[in-house]
Amino acid sequence: MKFEISQNLLSKISSDVVLVYVFQNENEKGPFFISSSAYSQLNKALSGQLDAACQAERFKGQQGKVVSVFTQDKIVPTKVVVMGLGKKSGFVLNDLRKVTGKIVTAFRKRSDSLVIAVPEDLDESAQEACRVIVEAVDLASYEFAKYKAKKPEDRNLETVILAVSEQVAIVDIKKVVQYTQLYTEATILARDLVNEPAYIATPTYLADLAEDIAKANPSVTCKIFGKTQIEKMGMEAFLGIARAANTEPKFIYLSYTPEKVGQKNKKLALVGKGITFDSGGINVKPGDHMQDMKMDMAGAACVLGVFSVIAKIKPDFSVIGLIAATPNLVSASSILPGDVVKALNGKTIEVLNTDAEGRVTMADSLSFAVKEGATHILDFATLTGACMVALGMEIAGIFSNDRDLIEEVKLAAFAEGEKVWELPLEKDYKAQNRSEVADIANIPNNRYGGTITAALFLQEFIGNKPWVHFDIAGPAFASKSYELGPQGGTGFGVRTVLQLLERNN
Q: For residues 357 and 88, give the distance between their C-alpha atoms in angstroms, rounded to a whole number.
A: 46
Q: For residues 45 and 76, give the distance between their C-alpha atoms in angstroms, rounded to a whole number.
A: 10
Work out whether 440 is an interface residue with Mg ion (CB under 5 A): no
Contacts (CB under 5 A) with Zn ion, residues 357-416: 357
Contact yes or no for 35/22 (Cβ under 8 A): yes
- What distance lies between CA 224 and its chain's CA centroid? 25
B/e letters for 77-92, b = 16+ CB within 10 Å, e = fewer, are bbbbbbbbbbbeeebe
Q: For residues 204 and 276, give the distance between their C-alpha atoms in angstroms, rounded to a whole number.
A: 10
278, 350, 471, 483: which one binds Zn ion (CB under 5 A):
278
**Whole-number minimum distance, CB 498 to Zn ion, in Å?**
28
Q: Give the residue with the Cβ less far from Zn ion, 64 or 385.
A: 385
Give the x-and-dash track for 463-502 against ligand BES (CB under 6 A). Answer: ----------x-----------------------------
**DSSP at 230:** H
Q: Give the residue with the Cβ less far from ligand BES, 73 or 288.
A: 288
For 125-165, give the DSSP string: -HHHHHHHHHHHHHHHT----TT--SPPPS----EEEEE--
Which partner in Mg ion, Zn ion, ligand BES, none is near 214 (CB below 5 to 8 A by kind)? Mg ion
Beta bridge partners of 267: 318
**Whole-number minimum distance, CB 215 to Mg ion, in Å?**
6
Q: Give the residue with the Cβ less far from Zn ion, 117 or 360.
A: 360
Contact yes or no for 157/1 (Cβ under 8 A): yes
Q: Give the residue with the Cβ less far from Zn ion, 190 or 383.
A: 383
Is residue 359 part of the annotated active site? The answer reads yes
Work out whether 276 is an interface residue with ligand BES (CB under 6 A): no
**Number of residues counted as binding ligand BES (CB under 6 A):** 15
Q: Give the residue with the Cβ less far from ligand BES, 272 or 315.
A: 272
101, 203, 449, 450: which one binds ligand BES (CB under 6 A):
450
Work out whether 295 is an interface residue with Mg ion (CB under 5 A): no
**DSSP at 191:** H
Helix extents (H) in 297-396: 298-313, 358-371, 385-391
**Number of residues counted as binding Zn ion (CB under 5 A):** 3
Is residue 285 part of the annotated active site? The answer reads yes
**Whole-number minimum distance, CB 248 to ligand BES, in Å?**
21
Containing H/E element for 409?
helix 403-416
Quick one: which segment of 352-360, 403-411, 421-429, 496-504 binds ligand BES (CB under 6 A)?
A: 352-360
355, 364, 460, 483: which one binds ligand BES (CB under 6 A):
355
**Whole-number minimum distance, CB 218 to Mg ion, in Å?**
5
Q: Give the residue with the Cβ less far from Zn ion, 236 or 355.
A: 355
Work out whether 471 is an interface residue with Zn ion (CB under 5 A): no
Give the x-and-dash track for 201-220 against Mg ion (CB under 5 A). Answer: -------------x--x--x
Taking the CA atoms of residue 473, residue 326, residue 146 and residue 157 in that order, the dihedral angle to the nearest 10 degrees is 40
Which partner in Zn ion, Mg ion, ligand BES, none is near 450 (CB below 5 to 8 A by kind)? ligand BES
**Whole-number minimum distance, CB 354 to ligand BES, in Å?**
8
Work out whether 278 is an interface residue with ligand BES (CB under 6 A): yes
Contact yes or no for 285/278 (Cβ under 8 A): yes
Alpha-carbon distances of 194 from 184, 268, 421, rounded to whole Å: 15, 24, 23
Quick one: which segment of 124-132, 307-315, 339-347, 349-357 binds Zn ion (CB under 5 A)?
A: 349-357
Work out whether 350 is an interface residue with Zn ion (CB under 5 A): no
- What distance lies between CA 310 and its chain's CA centroid? 15
Q: Which of 285, 314, 347, 430 is catalytic?
A: 285
Contacts (CB under 5 A) with Mg ion, residues 218-237: 220
**Whole-number minimum distance, CB 20 to ligand BES, in Å?**
40
3 state SS for 264-321: CCCEEEEEEEEEEEECCCCCCCCHHHHCCHHHHHHHHHHHHHHHHHHHHHCCCCEEEE
138, 196, 357, 483: which one binds ligand BES (CB under 6 A):
357
Burial of 308 (0-12, 13-18, 19+ CB in 10 A): buried
Q: For residues 10 and 117, give the distance between their C-alpha atoms in angstroms, rounded to a whole number.
A: 8
Q: Give the residue with the Cβ less far from Zn ion, 355 or 460.
A: 355
Q: Give the residue with the Cβ less far from ligand BES, 138 or 471.
A: 471
Burial of 208 (0-12, 13-18, 19+ CB in 10 A): middle
Residue closest to ligand BES (Cβ): 385
3 state SS for 14-56: CCCEEEEEEEECCCCCCCCEECCHHHHHHHHHCCCHHHHHHHH
Which partner in ligand BES, Mg ion, Zn ion, none is near 323 (CB below 5 to 8 A by kind)? none
Residues that bind Zn ion (CB under 5 A): 278, 355, 357
Residues that bind Mg ion (CB under 5 A): 214, 217, 220
Residues that bind ligand BES (CB under 6 A): 278, 296, 353, 355-358, 382-386, 443, 450, 473
Q: Which residues belong to the active site?
A: 285, 359
